[in-house]
Chain A
Amino acid sequence: MMAEALARQHRIALTGNDAVAYAVKQANVDVISAYPITPQTFVVETLSRYVNDGELNAKYINVESEHSALSAVIGASLAGARTFTATASQGLAYMWEALYAASGLRLPIVMALAARALSAPINIHNDHSDFFGMRDAGWIMFNGEEAQETYDLTIMAFKIAEDPRVLLPVVVSYDGFIVSHAITNFYALNDDVVKEFLGVRTTGPKIDPDNPRSYGVLALQDSYFEFKRQQYEAMENARQVIQEVFKKYGEISGRNYRPLKEYMTSDAETCIVAMGSTVGTARHAVKNLREKGEKVGVVGILQYRPWPVKEAEQLFSRFKRIIVMEKVMSPGARAGPVYEDITATLYPNYNVKMIDFIYGLGGRDIPAQGVIDIYKRGKELADKGKTDKAYFYGVRGE
């Protein structure tokens, strides 16, 4: 790292959850409301301690459910506050109708999601079912691989959300337990650097008794569609804004983010696509495979919504085979959501053989050898042209 960038930050070791709380403290939020749920609980526990100890001058609102948590934050955001909430799994499911209210009202709320499986059967461990469940809710969606990315994305999330061209809520997801509960070292920006980067919130709705307006109005056949059209446009605008924020943040921190993270892709014939902590494990596996002469690379999805169409088109059209690893299943669909995003991006210039693997549901561990197995099997299936369905990896007896 450049000496200049290094002087703006400090080395620290925290769990993924505490890294998020640390970022939120530095973002100097005004209002936090959340309901505890494993594996996210430590985020809001740490934040409530910051508030209690006077390290963060924010209002912490205790509520009886996630539905109320997001609703409270929606109210505070309408009043002009910088707001934050966090959740996982069933908690996110319980927020569902409020998710659409937050984006429809164009509120720059930031939410952390310690990604976890959905019931039934009950399971507290990581997969991406909750994350993909909110795919169409109109939120900007990021995925951190480890504490460093999750911390950086949380800070950038406020900047992106509050940009007047955007004004949309942002979710920053990271893998429950694997990232949320692991202590790792990373670089955190100094408080004053974050303060200067983010400033205070000045944009978006602001309820003002001296200037009364209506928010969340009834909009029927004559106007609802126009609201939605503008919301769609805001998400389109986010592409440019995200790029600008990534660039500015890179200049400050020395960490340059891109929507799609590439590893050894330049001469790769086969590309493994993954999201979350598996991206790192896949890089580790690819190092091994490269030593054996396999021309393989990894693409990690950091920005899921807006889907980076141009970047994806340019990148994915280069490969002979793409093996998509998804920690989510969409029963009855052709394949998983990421597979479908990629095929839709490449259409109609579709010369790539694509294989979809569902893996890791409910926290089933994926070691580097697992990625190697998926690569070998995926390559064979692709070459045989058996691309007509999604495959499972790691199910006992299969």
Chain B
Amino acid sequence: MRMVKTSRIVEIRWHGRGGQGVVLANQLIGMALFEEGKNIQTFPDFGPERTGGPVRGYTRFSEDPIDIHSSVYEPDILAVIDPYLAEDPSVYVGLKPEGVAVVNSAKNPGDLKKKLGLNVKTLGVVDAARISKEVFGAYVFNTPVLGGLVRLTGIVRLETLEKLFLNRFPGRVGELNVKMLKRGYEEVAAQ
């Protein structure tokens, strides 16, 4: 399952709520791309930062230097880590029809696609609530979705992200995050 590259600069947009780890997941995918030799640009949305409020993050990557410096309006890849936002059609605005969306949801991807009336090539769902409860004993939404995103897009190797997680969170927290990452990778259901 590889995404079709439509432009030389690939754009990713993350949606979630303050405190769910949008900024971290966005940074980690950016750093993984950097580790694999890509040119990257990864930045949070510059709106007010409040726990619980909607938060966005953006990453661009390319084999060539990236010159554009605006927000991302027409992403190739969309990740939604909040299960309620995942059912809000407005977060999908601008997503390229040939792109990939990966969202945190317990729903069947076909049903969700229909419910949203979504015109996108691939919609993947990861039940991050169930995975994180089982692995971590608490809700962690960003890591399992990140795993699903890697599987559906193939933009980085899973091992690169595993290393970054272990560096960032040495010890048990890192190991459990790697477990959640892998579960997301394996269990993502796409349509």
Contacts and interface: CB of A to CB of B under 8 A. Distances in A.
Interface of A: 13, 125, 146, 175, 177-179, 181-185, 277-278, 280-281, 283-284, 363, 365-368, 370
A367 B94 CA distance: 14
Contacts of B73: 367
Interface in B13-55: 27, 30-31, 34, 39-44, 46
Interface stretch (B63-71, B123-131, B141-149): B63-71
B69 A181 contact: no
A183 B26 CA distance: 10
A175 to B, nearest CB: 8
A116 to B, nearest CB: 11
Contacts of B67: 280-281, 283-284
Given A13-B34, A125-B46, A177-B46, A182 B41 contact: yes
Nearest to A13: B34
Given A277-B69, A281-B69, A363 B46 contact: yes
Contacts of A178: 43, 46, 69
Contacts of A125: 46
Main secondary structure of the interface of B (DSSP, over half): mixed
Contact of B68 (A175, A179, A181, A280): A280
A93 to B, nearest CB: 21
B155 to A, nearest CB: 16
Nearest to B61: A185
B70 A183 contact: no
Contacts of B41: 182-184
Interface bracket on B: 10 to 19
Contacts of A366: 70
A291 B63 CA distance: 21
A41 to B, nearest CB: 13
A161 B31 CA distance: 35
A175 B41 CA distance: 15
A185 B40 contact: yes
Contacts of A182: 41-43, 69
22 contacts: A13-B30, A13-B34, A125-B46, A146-B69, A177-B43, A177-B46, A178-B43, A178-B69, A182-B43, A183-B27, A183-B40, A184-B40, A184-B42, A185-B40, A281-B68, A281-B69, A281-B70, A283-B67, A366-B70, A367-B73, A368-B68, A370-B70
A278 B68 CA distance: 8
B94 to A, nearest CB: 11
A183 B46 contact: no
B31 A183 contact: yes
A366 B71 CA distance: 8
A308 to B, nearest CB: 22
What 10 A-B pairs come out closest when comparing CB atoms?
A182-B43, A280-B67, A277-B69, A367-B70, A13-B34, A284-B68, A177-B46, A183-B42, A283-B67, A184-B41
Interface in B135-167: none
Contact of B43 (A13, A183, A280): A183
Given A13-B31, A281-B68, A365-B70, 13 more contacts: A13-B30, A13-B40, A146-B69, A177-B43, A178-B69, A181-B46, A182-B41, A182-B69, A183-B41, A280-B69, A281-B69, A363-B46, A367-B68
Contacts of A365: 70-71
Residue from A146, A177, A184, A368 having most chain B Cβ neighbours under 10 A: A184
Contacts of B46: 125, 177-178, 181, 363
Contacts of B43: 177-178, 181-183
A185 B70 contact: no
Interface in B54-89: 66-71, 73
Residue from B34, B44, B68 having most chain A Cβ neighbours under 10 A: B68
B43 to A, nearest CB: 4
A33 to B, nearest CB: 28
A172 B46 CA distance: 22
Contacts of B70: 281, 365-368, 370
Contacts of A281: 67-70
Residue from A185, A277, A284, A368 having most chain B Cβ neighbours under 10 A: A185
Contacts of B66: 184, 280
Contacts of A181: 43-44, 46
Contacts of B31: 13, 183
A318 to B, nearest CB: 23
A251 to B, nearest CB: 21
Contacts of A185: 34, 39-40
